[in-house]
């Protein structure tokens, strides 16, 4: 049975967990690069700092008996894959941090209210009366699900939830604006400022 080590965006410590995972990947990247560099210079992993004699022997054996294109203890694809994971984690941390700083806001609509529940990380649609079958179908098509415990139609609170709500006429804000127009504007990222 496998273990799921995925870090959910709903997790209040998601940024901290992702940062720890990022640091581990960065340390692994540096370790793999230093072992490969030592191996290329010396033709063996024996004597490499941070590598036990037993591990060094296994690394040397793997290179000797491995594929002809493997010329170091850590093949280039391992470094590439780990580097891609580092980039992915950095991007995810940046996105989660931005959405936490942004602070979504709810709105009132004819027949109910949209609540940006940051504690549960949900956009919740609270109706005064039960929506019609046609309205419930539209909500489901837009990714909203009925939560009996919350007594609300909801989905994960993110930009996509706001966009989905913007496409639903039944939850159009009383002000006449789109739900996306009501949200605080994100500060431009460093790339956008250029």
Distance CA 14, CA 100 (A): 11
Q: pTM of the entire structure?
A: 0.61
All structural domains of the chain with their residue ranges: 14-102, 107-185
* pLDDT of the chain, 194 residues: tens digit per residue: 455 677 776 677 888 899 999 999 999 999 999 999 999 999 999 999 999 999 999 999 999 898 888 889 999 999 999 999 999 999 988 887 776 666 788 899 999 999 988 777 889 999 999 999 999 999 999 999 999 999 999 998 888 899 999 999 989 998 888 888 888 765 554 444 44
CA angle, residues 142, 148, 150, in degrees to nearest 5:
85
* Residues 6+ positions from 125 with CB-CB distance below 8 Å: 112, 113, 114, 115, 139, 144, 152, 153, 154, 165, 171
């Amino acid at each position: 049975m496998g273990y799921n080590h995925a870090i959910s965006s709903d997790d209040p410590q998601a940024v901290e967990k992702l940062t720890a995972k990022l640091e581990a990947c960065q340390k692994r990247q540096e370790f793999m690069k230093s072992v490969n560099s030592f191996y290329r210079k010396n033709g063996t992993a024996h004597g490499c700092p941070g590598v036990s004699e037993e591990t060094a022997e296994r690394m040397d054996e793997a290179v000797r008996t491995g594929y002809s294109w493997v010329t170091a203890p850590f093949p280039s694809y391992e470094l590439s894959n780990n580097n891609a994971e580092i980039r992915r984690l950095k991007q995810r941390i940046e996105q989660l941090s931005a959405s936490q700083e942004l602070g979504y806001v709810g709105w009132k609509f004819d027949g109910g209210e949209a609540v940006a529940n940051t504690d549960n990380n949900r956009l919740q649609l609270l109706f005064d009366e039960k929506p019609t079958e046609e309205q419930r179908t539209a909500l489901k098509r837009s990714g909203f699900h009925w939560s009996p415990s919350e007594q609300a139609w909801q989905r994960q609170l993110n930009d996509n939830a706001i966009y989905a709500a913007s496409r639903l006429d039944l939850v159009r804000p009383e002000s006449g604006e789109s739900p996306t127009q009501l949200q605080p504007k994100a500060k431009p990222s460093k790339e956008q400022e250029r």
